[in-house]
Amino acid sequence: MNNYDSNQIVVDMKGITQKFGTLVANDNVDLTVHRGEVHALLGENGAGKTTLVNSLYGLYHPTSGEIFINGEKVIMDDPNVAIQHGIGMVHQHFMLVKPFTVVENIILGLETHKHGVLDMKKAKDQVIALSERYGLTIDPDACIQDITVGMQQRVEILKALYRGADILILDEPTAVLTPQEILDLIQIIDNLTKQGKTIIIITHKLKEITDVADFCTIIRRGKKIDTVRVADVSEADLASKMVGREVSFKVEKSKAAPSDIVLEIKDLHVKDNRDIPALRGLKLTVRKGEILGIAGVDGNGQNELEEVLIGVRKAESGSMTVNGTDLLGKSPREILDHKVSTIPQDRQKRGLVMDYSVAENIILENYKKEPFSKKGWLNFEAIRNYARKLVTEFDIRPNDEDYRAGSLSGGNQQKVIIAREISNNPDLLIAVQPTRGLDVGAIEYVHKALIAQRDKGKAVLLISFELDEVINVSDRIGVIYEGQIVGELKAEGADENEIGLMMAGGGKK
């Protein structure tokens, strides 16, 4: 962007340490940002990026360390203090009141009023003026629940600007955007920095950093690793600094040997919770011995596809057969009985009963079967023995089948689910966002497990928002856009740009 002034330091965080109990989320981290700069914070999930900016925004109080804004030392003990010092934040999960209008959301907390009575006309005029000034077009009277995610993000940015923010923190702003919306966002960021605003952007996507950022601070396991001028480094440099070792983007695997069709979906139409079509004539097939990866931006029907496949959402029309049996509209139990297993996208909400032990979670799908129970009575010895075997086989740590599932690390929780699903010996394994929030070691483990299933001659369907993951793990790629598969291609030698274009609807025939 190159709109920055290297003589003017606006944010200077020194020696920030943040402890939550025994966990050290930030360990002596420094961050220096200049006026008009786009500064990226790069790190893996859980590295401590969000914790750092939350301290800057006054949501957390650092255990130790100092924060200077425009050279003045500030105790950030409340978002109000941050707002007063010109800091605005756009959270990863938008902080919008859904039944409120755009204007109401923007003015909330800083309302235009006369003696406590709202002056909505004045508010609307101010919001419109602001949106025109920064080129952020919005409909001021629309309710948040009725507008797109991209629009909601604009409302979030306007909220910060309305409060006179000069420093904007964007937490993973592109995670939910389409490629086109990402381009719009980049344009908006450029506009803002030209008018002297400073942007701190949190991301773990390397390409975005090279596209928009002037500087990049890399954080790993709570520690600052380095701050670099983006123009001076390559993506590979950034990646190795992020994960702490040379990263091979390639996943080792042999060539696929696909045979009979296992899953066949034809002309599938499904509505979402708001009764809007989410899948519109989706069509795909997965064969024995292959991994089909579904690439796409979040919100293009992946969630509904997962739910239909599992049997918890009704379809409007279409067919879905597994080994020739139509399973559309069948219950989750029946689908499971047809040798379909799923690693769901949200392991804590959908995968595990957190207050149950590892052993109890392992028998979740089979507790009614022998030897785990007989005529309604549980057989605890059989359950424990079986669970202990899987705990050892899948290297779940701690090595204790009585451990509470909710107390395991994310990676080990995922292992419990994988152990349970794979030990069902399914013909079709569906994995949705299987590596979300996992560290590098765990990601590798999951990828290897999926490939091992393929090599055993199973059909594997991988649905992921991480394009790299889809390209590296799959044999074949289907691109989902607005509830349809808009393109199919071989994973080997696939062109990321071509897929990116399709993900944005560009490849639609």
Q: Enter the DSSP assignment of 501.
A: H
- Rounded to whole angstroms, how far apart are CA atoms 278 and 301? 5
Phi-psi region of 325 (alpha: psi -120 to 50; beta: other; left: phi over 0): beta
Query: Please, is 325 exposed, middle or buried when counting C-beta atoms within 10 Å of its C-beta (0-12, 13-18, 19+)?
Result: exposed
In the complex with other proteins, which residue's Cβ is closer, 135 or 398? 398
Q: To the nearest whole angstrom, how small is the minimum distance from the Cβ of residue 369 to other proteins?
A: 10
CB of 83 to other proteins, least distance (A): 6
Chain residues 65-104 in contact with other proteins, contact rule CB under 8 A: 78-80, 83, 89, 91, 95-100, 104
Q: How far is the CB of 360 from other proteins (least distance, A)?
A: 7
**Closer Cβ to other proteins, 99 or 493, answer by number:** 99
Q: Which of 72, 349, 441, 493 binds other proteins (CB under 8 A)?
A: 349
Question: Is there a contact between 451 and 473 (Cβ–Cβ < 8 Å)?
Answer: yes
Nearer to other proteins among residue 107 and residue 291 (C-beta): 107
Nearer to other proteins, 196 or 410 (CB): 410
Task: Give the interface segment with other proteins, choosing from 65-73, 183-191, 279-287, 328-336 (CB under 8 A).
Answer: 328-336
Closest to other proteins by CB, 269 or 338: 338
Q: How far is the CB of 291 from other proteins (least distance, A)?
A: 22
User: What's the rounded Cα separation, in Å, for the pair 453 and 192?
Assistant: 49
C-alpha to C-alpha distance for 64 and 14, rounded to whole angstroms: 9
Mind giving me the DSSP string for 173-197? TTTT--HHHHHHHHHHHHHHHHTT-
CB 444 within 8 A of CB 248: no
Residue 310 near residue 318 (C-beta atoms within 8 A) = no
Smallest distance, other proteins to C-beta of residue 407, A: 6
Least CB distance from residue 420 to other proteins, whole Å? 9
Min dist CB 243 to other proteins, Å, is 28
| Ramachandran angles phi, psi of 93, nearest 5° | -95, 115
Closer residue to other proteins (CB): 155 or 479: 155
The answer to whether residues 454 and 461 touch, using CB atoms and an 8 Å cutoff, is: no
Question: Taking CB under 8 A as the rule, which mask of x and - marks residues 266-305 in contact with other proteins?
Answer: ----------------------------------------
CA distances for 318 relative to 43, 166, 306, 324, angstroms = 42, 52, 15, 14
Judged by CB, which is closer to other proteins: 2, or 145?
A: 145
- Measured from the CB atom, is 40 or 310 closer to other proteins? 310
When binding is defined by CB under 8 A, the residue of 6, 331, 392, 425 that contacts other proteins is 331
Which is nearer to other proteins, 285 or 413 (by Cβ)?
413
Count residues binding other proteins (CB under 8 A): 59
Query: Smallest Cα–Cα separation from 150: which of 180, 191, 172, 187?
Result: 180
Kindly provide the residue ranges of all beta strands, DSSP E only, lying in 205-360, ordered along the sequence: 215-220, 223-229, 261-271, 277-287, 291-295, 317-322, 325-326, 340-343
From 168-176, 184-192, 220-228, 365-373, span contacting other proteins (CB under 8 A) = 365-373
Task: Please report, as ranges, the residues that interact with other proteins according to CB under 8 A.
Answer: 54, 57, 59-60, 78-80, 83, 89, 91, 95-100, 104, 108-111, 113, 116-118, 159, 310, 312, 331-333, 335-336, 342, 344, 349-357, 360, 364-365, 367-368, 373, 376-378, 398, 400, 402-404, 407
